[in-house]
Structure 1
Amino acid sequence: MALYRMINPVQPYAWGSTTKLAEIQRRAPGNTPQAELWMGSHPVAPSALLMGNGRERPLPEHLALHEGALGPRAALLGLPGDSAPDLPFLFKILAVERGLSIQVHPDRGQAAAGFEREEAARIPRTAPVRSYRDRNHKPELLCAITEFSGLCGFRPDRELVEEMRTFREFLRVQCALDPPAALISAIGRYLKRTGEETWRAVFLELLRTGENPDSRAGLVEQGAAYVAARLEGGLPEASIERYRRATTLLEQYPGDPGALAPLYLNLVHLRPGEALFLGPGILHAYLSGAAVEIMAGSDNVVRAGCTVKHVDGEELARIVRFERSRQEVLKPVMPGDRPGLRVYRSPAEEFELLHISRAGRFLKGEGPAIILNLGDPVDCSSGDRSLELPPGESLFADHETTFCDVHTQGQGTEVSLYVAALPGAIR
């Protein structure tokens, strides 16, 4: 049995916060954005383990040296086509200060095909223009740790019809600029017969217009004028929020048509402890807040806008799912035999997210686990090994670790630990 403190890399993406991760870790903020803290073995940014002699060992190296660290079930769920052992999941803290890219993730077949295509084109795996950095799909589950806002999935037809009818009328009658004829026509066909194909045509026209330098500025200017008109139109408070979000994105990403995404994507607000599951093909973006996120071990992202990174509208349109419905907010299940344990269940076979709010012993079955502390400092022990776990830090428990005892350092039993593990492994 073995527990190890983890040394986790932080990604300084431009949309990150200078304060949120520092607040979680209870340290002074820095001057540069800190967007994502990664916990895992993904080759793009692997964690390291702090060994007993004080030395740091990269987690991939540790997994290669210790065949039993993963366990047979987890070993089958790592990166496809990779001979080196990998964790089946990647665990993150997100600290979102400004809107991040409108994006989608592939399924397994799309990921494998995209990876081989970019390999054949000799695009380096770390190149900025690369979308497929591995062969894996990327289902993911996000759980808010502060108030959190995002965009997720296309709005239901009844909402899109009202929005697109109003948008088309504005472009035709009120806007001073010439309306894009192909977009107007596509909206008209969708209004006559709602469905996946007609909505797909509208979305593709938004992408095509946005990719054309001659028409991009016009579309963004028209969209901004429409958003301003809606904000001045006396809408109910519940309806006006999406136009405020669009205004913010237009300010953060001037000239980017992706800033109009609040017009057609569901606006989602999560309270702390609420979650979203995102399967392959679901278009989404995050707007503000802090969250933990767990996913299959992949870094495959295809983007459509609101980013300084590589945008591939053609590939995104090919893999996105054009279903139009409300996005379900995921609530945890609380097993009756384990007070203080909440389980976030999903269709993913690679991972399960759990929250532990009461000190004591929890049992771990097959596979590895990562234990993240988002509360006061605690002590974690298994067998003869005991480690302090400060706020915002994590421990790695290998396959052979069968239990973990959690102790508070003060009075009371309240803790806040998020655990990434295989489905059904923690009880």
Structure 2
Amino acid sequence: MELLRNAVRPYAWGSRTTIAELLGRPVPAPHPEAELWMGAHPGDPSHLGDRSLLAVVDADPVGQLGADCADRWGNRLPFLMKILAAEEALSLQAHPSAAQAREGYAREESLGIPRDAKNRNYPDPTAKPELVCALTEFHALAGFRDPHRTVRLLRELETPGMAVYTDLLAGQPDADGLRALFTTWITLPQPALDTLLPELLDACVLHVKDHGEFDLECRTVLELGEAHDGDAGVLAVLLLNRVVLAPGEAIYLPAGNLHTYLHGTAVEILANSDNILRGGLTPKHVDVPELLRVLDFTSADMPVQRGTAVAPRMWRYPTDAPEFELSRLEWAPDETDEVLLSSTGPQIMICTAGAATCESEGRKVELGRGESVWSAAHDPAVRVTPVPGVRTQLFRATAGG
């Protein structure tokens, strides 16, 4: 069991205050800080002292990961945990299934596309499911909304240019209708977008002024339309669920789920993969045919998890992802009971509030806010005790079942 030193990723959509404040550094940071990475990702691995976690795992995969995990994931740590600090919207995106990733990776390898090329969709052959759990109020767009409700929204915003698209979905309010409308919008020529989008934004302004039923959805379109002028992704967001998570609530994003994170701070856990198919709201590469190949147009309200109590002070966020599992540990200021964490695989814990003591067979680590710890598969069980007098919260990442 050892303290981790983690990498901060400075993407333009990040916050200049959130991660700096979490890590106890001067605020504001000199540039946006979007993600704090905890794991053995080759692009920016965590460090244990002067050694990268990637090198530590490579040197002893069975001892660090456990025999089952090492065998199943080819001696790789299968998950990556992050603190995500979104000040602006991320790109509209989806991720492939394991089978789609393997096929896409093999295809691009055979074509000789460099793995770091800007037009590369599959730099690795693995899936990328993810789960995001809010630390602050967290806003997202995720999954296709029930098309009947979307038709109601489009009727509210109907303009001369929008009417034909409203009728298209109204005539087939199902997954095939959503696919047809999304495909039509994402492939519109730029002159058509330059006519349609201003009409849509004007209609959203009127809807907000009238305090209409879809006020939040319209405000989102206006914000994204201002930031991404002429982008077809602004139309696409009309089809997605608008989600607001309270702290401790989470959403799981399996393969094919079209989504973007809009604003807020969260713990994110995902498979250790870089496979992203973008659909807009970005100047980066958008491969429409490949995106359409992986998208799941099934529609429903986005399920929100609040965590399932599995032990005193411990809540788990279950998914079907074999790569990871996320748990939350939490104590009120007057609660001091310890939690014993045992695992046959690797685990990472980060303290997001208060402080805690982690003990494992005589070794003791004081874990303050923003600090994280690595526990290898061969380590003994970890005993976690909160520092009394303050609310304490930790998140724990392990490999999935």
What does residue range 24-423 of structure 1 map to in structure 2 within 5 Å? 24-29=22-27, 30-50=29-49, 56-66=50-60, 67-78=62-73, 85-167=75-157, 169-170=158-159, 172=160, 179=161, 185=164, 187-209=166-188, 212-236=189-213, 239-335=214-310, 338-358=311-331, 360-409=338-387, 411-412=388-389, 414-423=391-400
Amino acid at match of 1:267: R
Matched with 2:16 is 18
Q: 1:77 to 1:294 in 2, by over 3 A?
A: farther
Q: What is the CA distance between 1:185 and its match in structure 2?
A: 4.7
Residues of 2 paired with 1:31 and 1:246: CA distance? Answer: 30
Q: Secondary structure at the match of 2:187?
A: helix
Shift of 1:228: 2.1
SS at match of 1:293: strand
Alpha-carbon shift at residue 166 of structure 1 (Å): 4.0
Q: Which amino acid aligns with 2:357?
A: D
Structure-1 residue corresponding to 2:6:
8
Amino acid at match of 2:33: Q
Secondary structure at the residue paired with 1:119?
helix
- Whether the 8 Å contact between 1:8 and 1:48 is mirrored in structure 2 is yes
Task: Give me the TM-score of the superposition, normalised by structure 2.
Answer: 0.93
Q: Which residue of 2 aligns with 1:175?
A: none
Which whole-Å CA distance do the structure 2 matches of 1:234 and 1:378 have between them? 46
- Whole-angstrom distance in 2 between the partners of 1:391 and 1:193: 51
Distance between the aligned counterparts of 2:45 and 2:196, measured in 1?
Answer: 41
TM-score w.r.t. structure 1 length? 0.87
- The percent identity for this pair of structures is 37
Which letter does structure 1 place at the counterpart of 2:261? Y
Shift of the alpha carbon at 1:320? 0.5
Q: Give the letter for the 1:44 counterpart.
A: G
> How far apart are the structure 1 equivalents of 2:124 and 2:340?
34
Distance 1:11 1:413 in 2: 30
Between the aligned partners of 1:117 and 1:64, the Cα distance in structure 2 is: 27
RMSD: 1.9
Q: Distance in 2 between matches of 1:22 and 1:306?
A: 26
In the comparison of the two structures, how many residue pairs are matched?
Answer: 394
Query: Aligned to 2:297, what secondary structure does the other structure show?
Result: coil
User: Is the CA contact (8 Å cut-off) linking 1:246 and 1:261 kept in structure 2?
Assistant: no
Partner SS, residue 201 of structure 1: helix
CA distance in 1: counterparts of 2:261 and 2:365, whole angstroms: 34
Q: Which amino acid aligns with 1:235?
A: G
C-alpha deviation, 1:330, in angstroms: 0.8
CA distance in 1, matches of 2:147, 2:191: 30
How many Å separate the matches in 1 of 2:385 and 2:143?
Answer: 41
Q: Contact 1:243–1:262 (CA<8 Å) still a contact in 2?
A: no
Separation of aligned partners in 2, 1:260 and 1:26: 40
User: How far off is 1:117 after superposition?
Assistant: 2.1
Gaps of 5+ in 1: 51-55, 173-178
CA distance in 2, matches of 1:163, 1:206: 16
Cα contact 1:42–1:86 (8 A) shared by 2: no
